Structure 1
Amino acid sequence: MKNLLALPLATIVAGLATVGTAHAQSASEGIAKYREMLQDGNPAELFEMKGEELWKQKRGPKQATLEQCDLGLGPGVIQGAFVQLPRYFKDTGRVQDLESRLVTCMETLQGFNGAEIAKTPFGRGEMANVTALATYVATASKGMRFNLPQQHPQEKAMYEVGKRAFFTRGGTHDFSCASCHGADDKRIRLQELPNLTKNPGDGVGFAAWPAYRVSNSQMWGMQQRLNDCFRQQRFPEPKFGSDVTIALGVYMGVNAKNAESIVPAIKR
């Protein structure tokens, strides 16, 4: 103890910081290895299989499949569609992400009530089917690079809205998205928090959802992930497919340009 007290304060602080960094790196490596082990038997594959069945199955009042659903690259084309969403769709006159676009197809092609689906809690009824469909479609773009379009005025406007929403502080804790994801080298407990104001890297942030969450044995799409972020910020719960969730998706997706999609990922 005497020897320790004799050391300059700066030396002690530097030593403790080094130990802390080593522990953090060790924890991160451990989590990465844990995820790697689980990836071989990722339960998300079951949701992908369910999504493929739903895509090809005749369902709804019109007894039709979703095989003519246009996700931006033409009717029925799913490969490469996910890494270019959200984007503007002329038929709806708005920018849509994968999940909200799938609901549009379920409504127009199969006759489902899109408004009722949007009101359904995550993980239940047709909303659970939307998540499975999103997993199937997104998986078809695994390994591809994100390149969201920014040609249409609404796409550009949504990026700016998403950027503003990302940095807006509020709620009882005065949080914003940027409070957790606005700088490098942040973490909460053992969880690394990627910087989403820029390209965070392959398979990180936007490029990792939909993902299977081991902690609650659930498959989450980006809509549910954003919903949970709003909850943690103590903000009011956003409506499914609302403009603010789409705008945040555009902001993160454009920032993730050239990042490789690893969907379906696996999370804690």
Structure 2
Amino acid sequence: MRFSRALAAAVCIGALSVVGIAIAQDADTEKAIERYRQMLKEDPWSNPGLLDVDRGEALWKTARGPKNVTLEQCDLGKGPGKVEGAFAELPRYFKDADRVMDVETRLLWCMEKLQGFNPADLVKRPHPGGGQPVKELGAIATWIANQSSGQKFAAKLDQPKEKEVVALGEELFFRRSGPFDFSCATCHSAEGLRIRLQGLPYLADPKEARKVVGEWPAYRVSTTQVMTMQHRLVDCYWQMRLPELQLGSDVSIALIAYLTKQATGGEITAPGLKR
């Protein structure tokens, strides 16, 4: 009996030691990852996402599509062709489309109306696979976001249709569904949560949302590509095993509007750097 108790105690102590070592190792790894991120931020030109910023600007100014025109007359909310500061005020309601739009959805609309592209073709496989560069629409969106870098999120979201979209986004953020009974809030409504070595931002808290939402679009080191916010949502939906989220859908715009509302006043630093 004494031997059994002694053995059980030894096993417990050993298990606690292993857990303690694992926690310490995780903490060291997370610190190392954070040091790596900080090194990249200290030298902004080391961010590979800036290559796609340049590519996006070139695409904006290049005549393309069946109509062979540029996007320089695209109105992002501040008047045709005015890009600086536009991302900071998106999503917003556009009267010409009678719809609330984020930056990527608005670009889809402009590429259809101005350049003559078929929107069905643009939303078919719109995001890159691992290791592949962001597609053309994503590169343009990254450039537009970068033109608001250093500014604060200031989308008003106070018109009736804008309020409806934000309310829908909040409902979707907290709604549990799918085979895992997950919601966005499962991972993003408490402090200190993590998945593997990745810390999960507390997006339900405006103070925390202001710190991270403005980093998207972001360059992801693990997949060596820029990922836009629409792409990030698609990836989250896939991880929750929910139906594929179509770029520019009402659901995607609603979630982005809610997150932007949460991040009001937060600084835009796109393209950010992510794991």
Taking structure 2 as the reference length, the TM-score comes to 0.85
1:203, 1:262 within 8 Å by CA — same for their partners in 2? no
For 1:183, which of 190, 210, 215 is the aligned residue? 190
1:79, 1:140 within 8 Å by CA — same for their partners in 2? yes
Name the counterpart of 1:74.
79
- Fraction of identical pairs, as percent: 47
Name the counterpart of 2:3.
none
Structure 1 residue matching 2:123: 3-state secondary structure: helix
In the alignment, the residues of structure 2 paired with residue 23 and residue 64 of structure 1 have an alpha-carbon distance, to the nearest angstrom, of 55
Instruction: Write the deviation string for residues 203-229 of structure 1: whole angstroms up to 9, x where unpaired.
Output: 41x211111111121211111100000
Q: Are 2:70 and 1:86 aligned?
A: no
Aligned CA RMSD, in angstroms, stands at 2.5
1:202, 1:261 within 8 Å by CA — same for their partners in 2? no
Q: Which amino acid aligns with 1:258?
A: G
For 2:118, which of 105, 113, 116 is the aligned residue? 113
Q: Which amino acid aligns with 2:249?
A: S
For 2:33, which of 31, 34, 41 is the aligned residue? 31
Q: Which structure 1 residue ranges, 5 or more long, are not aligned?
A: none
In the alignment, the residues of structure 1 paired with residue 201 and residue 126 of structure 2 have an alpha-carbon distance, to the nearest angstrom, of 28
Q: Which structure 2 residue ranges, 5 or more long, are not aligned?
A: 1-5
Instruction: Write the deviation string for residues 9-52 of structure 1: whole angstroms up to 9, x where unpaired.
Output: 9xxx9x99998876665444322211123343111011001001
Q: Are 2:167 and 1:160 aligned?
A: yes
Q: Are 2:64 and 1:62 aligned?
A: no
In the alignment, the residues of structure 1 paired with residue 21 and residue 152 of structure 2 have an alpha-carbon distance, to the nearest angstrom, of 37
Structure 1 residue matching 2:219: 3-state secondary structure: strand
Name the counterpart of 1:237.
244
Q: Which amino acid aligns with 2:156?
A: P
User: Where in structure 2 are the equivalents of 1:118-137 lying within 5 Å?
Assistant: 118-123=123-128, 128-137=135-144
Question: How many residue pairs are counted as aligned between the two chains?
Answer: 257
Name the counterpart of 1:209.
216
Q: Which amino acid aligns with 1:36?
A: Q
